[in-house]
């Protein structure tokens, strides 16, 4: 009887080890991270900004990929109805000078401080000789 119990326990132990070795491994194709450096900026963001010309305001914006693999698109920045393109590098991005709705916009230092916050300062030319300076915090 003792021998039968030992054999049964041994078979049970071997069976457990066999099943544990067959556990499903993480499939890299199911990993949501694609390795795309733009990915960390993606999403819907709440913007709290302070404009030197217009004071404090809040609104929402969206950051997504551009068809150009080296840029991201920021929708509704400065409450524009157009998208601004930006160039990411690591945890930073810049907004090269571009004309949106007849107005020039640019930024040199936009920083993803953590997965849920971007700090940025950008400039919008409001007249031929004047730029509005805007500091903004984007949060998810």
More confident residue, 103 or 33: 103
Query: Which one of 2.40.128.420, 3.40.630.30, 3.30.300.30, 1.20.1050.90 gives the CATH number of domain 40-139?
Result: 2.40.128.420
pLDDT of 122 > 80? The answer is: yes
The pTM (predicted TM-score) of the whole model is: 0.73
Name the average pLDDT for the chain. 83
Give the separation between CA 93 and CA 38, rounded to whole angstroms: 9
**Residue in 39, 32, 31 with CA at minimum distance from that of residue 91:** 39
Which residues does 53 contact at the CB level (< 8 Å), separation at least 6? 126, 132
pLDDT of 138 > 90? The answer is: yes
Mean pLDDT of 87-115: 95
Residue for token pair 């907004």: 95
pLDDT in tens, 95-104: 999 999 999 9
Q: Where are the domains of the chain?
A: 40-139
């Amino acid at each position: 009887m003792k021998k039968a119990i030992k054999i049964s326990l041994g078979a049970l132990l071997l069976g457990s080890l066999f099943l544990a070795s067959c556990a499903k491994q993480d499939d890299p194709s199911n990993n949501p991270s694609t390795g795309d450096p733009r990915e960390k900026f993606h999403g819907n963001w709440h913007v709290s900004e302070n404009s030197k010309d217009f004071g404090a305001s809040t609104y929402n914006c969206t950051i997504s990929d551009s068809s150009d693999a080296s840029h991201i698109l920021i929708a509704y920045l400065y409450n524009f109805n157009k998208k601004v393109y930006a160039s990411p590098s690591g945890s930073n991005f810049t907004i090269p000078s571009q004309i949106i709705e007849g107005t020039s916009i640019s930024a040199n230092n936009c920083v993803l401080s953590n997965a849920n916050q971007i700090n940025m300062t950008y400039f919008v030319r409001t007249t031929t000789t004047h730029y509005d300076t805007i500091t903004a915090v984007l949060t998810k």
